[in-house]
Amino acid sequence: MRTFGVEEELLVVDATTLEPLPVGDWAVDLQEESPPTGHQVTMELQQEQIEVASPPQTTLAGQLEAIRAGRSLAQAAAARAGGQVIALPTAPGPIIPHLAPDARYRRIAEQFGLTAAEQLSNGFHVHVGIGSRDEGVAVLDRIRIWLPTLLALSANSPFWQGIDTGYASYRYQVWARWPIAGPTELFSSTEAYDRHRAALLDTHVPLDAKMLYSDARLCEHHPTVEVRITDVCLEPLHAAVIATMIRALVETAARAWAEGAPAPPVPVSVLRAWSWQASRSGTEDMLIDPATGTPAPAGDVITSLLDTLGPVLAEYGEEALVDSAVADILRAGTGAQQQREAYATRHDLGDVMAAALRATHHVPLALPSMSSLGSESASNETSKDAPTTV
């Protein structure tokens, strides 16, 4: 089975007040040695962030354990500097972020001004192994129509600078300020992908290839497709399930390419509208149905995605747990809905932070098939090479 690994960007907060705390670089520097688990804990653009990259996995159960372990490692790192970490894509309250002390980040700040200065957003990046760059480009061409649906499932950022934005994923709106962000072109070949990449870099607008911030891309340093559209999720199980869906989507797309099925020819401008709708409404209203290009109830579109992934998920023995977890998201709400519920009682963003902290580190009760999957993770083989941080 294809390996898949995740990178989670987490908000660093004061251990007592839960206010954002600019100590991410310090927390990372205080690490005594690399974690024996194969995780990588690194700083990000702003000092109120820590990123943790988990080693590649082959099962959903293994991925869930890796995500839990990664959050524990990031929590331990933050604790050394008087903080904690929370899986929030945006800081709910008013904040002026503090740039991390790094030469590249200083260049980004100089080049991009207010866009960089205000950019405190935490994403969830999933790397899925590919057999070749040709296969990777074919996958990018075929998964792009489903990425907005995955964004909707992960939506976890309704608040920004102290207000409810009206969006389920406002992080995606903030991220879209970067000039090289959003949906990808339909490439059709590796050569076309490389020409497009070179043309963007030739403009000198992005400082380097790491700043090609598309919703999905080929990883520069490992043989993976990297899907970057989703919010970091409150619940570890939901994060693991969305990563598993992305792995199944890549496998489904690769099989379609091998069988000669063409990529859906949806223009970038149209995909951008689909992503906006997913960012606005999450799972609470309408999404754009890739089959028709028109709005449909979010639950129906998500069911269509599960039907598309069903054969691969069943083959991998993961269909039941994925279906159960997605049903839980639709029933209990995305992270955005949970944040709004926490806020509704007293209209206090501190309640949002406290609820998010509990969800970030809470080990959920086992779902029906989790016990068998859990035993699987003990013998799960993983690569020693973790995905690169970007």
Q: In this structure, what token pair is assigned to residue 295?
A: 């709005």
Only one residue has tokens 């403009």, namely: 203
Answer yes or no: is 338 within a domain: yes
Residue-level pLDDT at 31? 80
Q: Is residue 68 part of a domain?
A: yes
Average of pLDDT values for 58-72? 97
- For residue 55, being part of any structural domain is answered with yes
Q: What is the pTM of this model?
A: 0.92
Residue 16 amino acid letter: T
Task: Confirm whether 374 is domain-assigned.
Answer: no
- Is residue 385 in some structural domain? no
User: By residue range, what is the domain housing residue 165?
Assistant: 4-364
CA atoms within 13 A on the CB side of 336: 29
pLDDT 10s digits, 122-181 = 999 999 999 999 999 999 999 999 999 999 999 999 999 999 999 999 999 999 999 999
Residue 265 pLDDT level (bands cut at 50, 70, 90): very high
Judged by DSSP in three states, 196 sits in helix
Identity of the amino acid at 163: I
* Contacting residues for 114 by C-beta, under 8 A, at least 6 apart: none
Q: Is 125 a domain residue?
A: yes
Q: Who has greater pLDDT, 34 or 317?
A: 317
CATH of the domain at 222: 3.30.590.20
3-state secondary structure of 148: helix
User: Is the confidence at residue 380, as pLDDT, over 70?
Assistant: no
pLDDT digits (tens, 9 = 90+) for 73-103: 999 999 999 999 999 999 999 999 999 999 9
Coil, strand, or helix at residue 105?
helix
**Domains contained in the chain, number:** 1
Radius of gyration of the chain (CA): 19
What percent of the chain is modeled with pLDDT above 70?
A: 93
Mean pLDDT of the chain: 93
Asked whether 28 and 77 are in contact (CB, 8 A), the reply is: yes
List beta partners, residue 49: 11
Q: What tens digit of pLDDT does each residue of 194-204 get?
A: 999 999 999 99
Residue 373 lies in a domain: no
Q: Would you say residue 387 lies in a domain?
A: no
Q: What is the pLDDT of residue 35?
A: 85
pLDDT digits (tens, 9 = 90+) for 207-234: 999 999 999 999 999 999 999 999 999 9
